[in-house]
Structure 1
């Protein structure tokens, strides 16, 4: 099973690995302190029951590296006269996730398991007609007790959010702005922002954990001249890579658990034993002995992935959620949370003719088959620019030493500091039943009302036992620091007692972000400039099961 937020530290400790923001942070904290958690709340207390009468597949028992890594097709404009107008249709399809299991019933934004890649220039408005051709019945267990999922509301609803997009409120994908099968919704995205890897996914109220699990997500690569000038690997040397976990039954169908309570089947988290990349379980990719760029996106509902290469070869991270970092960061492993993106450069030039594996923890999940020599068709073209090279071959030596100018936002620029608690509540036998922000439900009045073009500091005070990846719509932000505190004293109104000095973000977190790890027993601070547009937006935990049961709140930008 893929690691969840609570187990990730124990697993990594057992494997002897360190790295990446929350891992490095937690290691430093736990050397001298046992970080308190919220009243012993356990996410593992649920005993999920299976919907299908077929047994589950052990993903690790299937033969690995028998399917080639698929690459997404580019989304095509509706006509040559309208290159920035797209029509993308949601439909039910059947697709094979592995050679040795039957095709899987799933939903997609296209005709294959891998949704169309929107590859487009920044600063040019994009218009998308989202067409809902889904069936009228859901095939995963709906919890009608969740807000927005009553029996009087259609079981199949869609709502599309451009994650990371600087989008006017009416087209942002507000969870209650859903539409049903047989209808469509047209959204305009100004894309007045820097080059970055964004993604689109379902955001229908109370359903998006099921809709996303069913397959409703896709990737966006936003380009600009500043990034082009760096001559990074492109064309066939740039690989969009979506990573997520699922569970399948022996007949190849998706399995999603319920709690065993027919009135409240929601479960607080779920990770499957089958790790997929671009829709295939443990695939392979043929590469040349040269530098490649991987645009990594974690689309899992709740799982973190801790990634490294089997030959202990370092790689470079050059970008995160909202585009390029100030400078490349040399790394040996990467922890990536749900909804986060990582822009990676891997150099295969020192391994001609070898097999190298991408590893999650101790499990090989992707096989790189390095050719003995490079191809001779690397002439510059509009679709494949040639990076700077060593001996005519792109290598790590060609990576630019500086990527972009990024000035930190001064804390003194903030006019408001907001404190937001992350809360979890249990039933009588210790099962998690409710997740809240500031102890408020989704439907309660808006309490966060930043002014347009104002700067604020937001402090996420994590009173739970879990790391939560917090995401803000509309804006990008910078991570200031994380600091361990005494949860017991805080929860009992005895003030904030810090247990250690504040820990600054690691180098690969120093770029612009839209999703941030908030470790248990810590206060995570970010600084946000609310430019863009006025209107109502939302912030939430991107553990989709948490978001559904009520770890999501609106905020409103006031003009």
Structure 2
């Protein structure tokens, strides 16, 4: 993958990148305000054990909308203190269940649960709110929340729609049917306009779905299965979180935020005592903006056995793993043969954590399965609709702001994506920006078809997609079910999905949280029939060269071309 200027800036170091990236993007804007920061070189490495998030416990049973009795949970969002490192003062955070990460939900496929999410947070926000962002207007409560279980197939009223927020002192009841394959999902805040601030404060946790097919594989489990939530945060000299300000009065939003510390399950530089055997490590990138390029300091390899929404067909051996915000990876680390060693997990040259391998033989080392779980491919011929959807960002020098859009449309514009329930569609993500954007679709799981370079300049001049080379299939470790895909700059990234489960209003968005909060999110609606579509586009509005190198879009207003088979 080519490294752009912005990728270099944001990954060449942890500190100061928010300042540099924002100021280079905003030629006429003031530089972000920056407080003195913690000197991370002063922190001792690997003195705190890796915390393992607690397991959420049901408090009873209640009836679902279908009348079934299911386990019932109640989770409060509260302000809390967290000691991120042995040598630091407690850091003020927000958390589900008063912890970061929040408690982990352990569920089983086909066995639903009900959760009451309670907003018991303070009335004032801890970070600056940009009231110019849509959904963050000054007349709204400062602290608003709504929970989205990322990767879950849920009814629309339980999905965490960004405008379905509730203020401090209120709660919402959500139903999660869990009618999906085993996978590690996660839950986080999704309130319109302040989502990035709420997650940054600590509102995130894991949600694991298990099934019998996974259990039959005899993968490492119990204490040999390790959840690993990674994110970066910016700490000041008082060891408190802060969120950088643009320096523009009344408009504090900045394009991305990068921290000076990496947190692993809420700790800086933790260690984990392991036996010389196989471990299953399930990794989530919960950062606002940073991708992680993970490798072992020993130079050894590891195996990936699963993606966002389930297991791969077979293990994939890796020396390094690229993980964008919201992506998950199911990994096997084999420490057999490494008794007595200290092995670091790194992001590029930066330490994340350390594995301390016991200097004694293990009772059982584990066996890597040659095959894991079949992943049936969705056939392109099954797609009834193909969409061309642009990713756009540009500077609005008149308004002294940045505009970030999907499909050249704002959040409040009419819905243009209306897939029919149980139909298959292909979405072509046309990235006209300098960024790689992790694009997430709610409700559905999808597969990556390919990525293909195109002439960005030609598109900007005459809205013609002219391909510059052949399509590249997804990497072997992407060949499973996904809910978030990396759409690289200058490429058309094609995904295919079946829109199944429920009809109703959902969203798709960039999971760089600063982008998402600044209009890089759009509603879409699953409808029950073609007659429900409210913005249909006729075949005469576009010409499509099947299998050729040129696609010409002729509509004057929208970059969304729907190509529907009769």
Do Structure 1 and Structure 2 share a fold, with TM-score over 0.5? yes
Partner residue of 1:513 out of 478, 482, 485: 482
Sort the Cα spacing of 1:9 and 1:266 in 2 relative to 1 into closer, same or farther, 3 A: closer
**Aligned equivalents of 1:148 and 1:494: distance in 2?**
31
1:50 and 1:255 in contact (8 A); partners too: no
* Structure 2 match to 1:57: 38
1:101 and 1:250 in contact (8 A); partners too: no
The yes-or-no answer on 1:410 pairing with 2:385 is: no
**Offset, 1:9:** 6.0
Sort the Cα spacing of 1:471 and 1:80 in 2 relative to 1 into closer, same or farther, 3 A: closer
**Offset, 1:8:** 3.7
Partner residue of 2:276 out of 289, 299, 317: 289
Higher relative contact order (Cα pairs below 8 Å, separated by 6+ residues): 1
The yes-or-no answer on 1:74 pairing with 2:61 is: no
* TM norm structure 1: 0.88
**Aligned equivalents of 2:224 and 2:239: distance in 1?**
32
Larger displacement relative to structure 2 (42-51 or 181-190): 42-51
**Aligned equivalents of 1:138 and 1:494: distance in 2?**
43
**Offset, 1:498:** 1.2
Instruction: Map 1:209-288; keep pairs closer than 5 Å.
Output: 209-288=196-275
The yes-or-no answer on 1:178 pairing with 2:157 is: no
Partner residue of 2:129 out of 137, 142, 146: 142
Larger displacement relative to structure 2 (111-120 or 59-68): 59-68
**Offset, 1:85:** 1.1
**Aligned equivalents of 1:5 and 1:76: distance in 2?**
45
SS of the aligned residue for 2:457 comes to helix
Give the structure with the larger strand fraction.
2
**Offset, 1:59:** 2.8
1:123 and 1:190 in contact (8 A); partners too: yes
Partner residue of 2:143 out of 139, 156, 178: 156
Sort the Cα spacing of 1:294 and 1:517 in 2 relative to 1 into closer, same or farther, 3 A: same
**Aligned equivalents of 2:30 and 2:288: distance in 1?**
18
* Structure 1 match to 2:364: 393
Instruction: Map 1:404-553; keep pairs closer than 5 Å.
Output: 404-428=373-397, 433-493=402-462, 495-553=464-522
SS of the aligned residue for 2:352 comes to strand
**Aligned equivalents of 1:231 and 1:47: distance in 2?**
56
**Offset, 1:374:** 4.7
Q: CA RMSD in A?
A: 2.1
SS of the aligned residue for 1:295 comes to strand
Sort the Cα spacing of 1:312 and 1:549 in 2 relative to 1 into closer, same or farther, 3 A: same
1:159 and 1:203 in contact (8 A); partners too: yes
The yes-or-no answer on 1:554 pairing with 2:515 is: no
The yes-or-no answer on 1:315 pairing with 2:302 is: yes
**Offset, 1:281:** 0.7
1:60 and 1:273 in contact (8 A); partners too: no
Larger displacement relative to structure 2 (426-435 or 114-123): 426-435
The yes-or-no answer on 1:353 pairing with 2:340 is: yes
Partner residue of 1:300 out of 287, 292, 309: 287
**Aligned equivalents of 2:169 and 2:193: distance in 1?**
20
SS of the aligned residue for 2:495 comes to strand
SS of the aligned residue for 1:496 comes to strand
**Offset, 1:50:** 3.6
**Aligned equivalents of 1:5 and 1:169: distance in 2?**
37
SS of the aligned residue for 2:418 comes to coil
1:104 and 1:254 in contact (8 A); partners too: yes
**Aligned equivalents of 1:446 and 1:502: distance in 2?**
30
* TM norm structure 2: 0.87
1:60 and 1:274 in contact (8 A); partners too: no
**Aligned equivalents of 1:43 and 1:345: distance in 2?**
39
Sort the Cα spacing of 1:47 and 1:503 in 2 relative to 1 into closer, same or farther, 3 A: farther
1:109 and 1:116 in contact (8 A); partners too: yes
Structure 1's unaligned 5+ residue stretches are: 15-40, 376-391
1:477 and 1:512 in contact (8 A); partners too: yes
Larger displacement relative to structure 2 (286-295 or 400-409): 400-409
* Structure 1 match to 2:354: 367
**Offset, 1:60:** 3.9
**Offset, 1:49:** 3.2
**Offset, 1:428:** 3.0
**Aligned equivalents of 1:360 and 1:43: distance in 2?**
25
SS of the aligned residue for 1:415 comes to strand
2:456 and 2:490 in contact (8 A); partners too: yes
What is the total number of aligned residue pairs between the two structures? Answer: 510
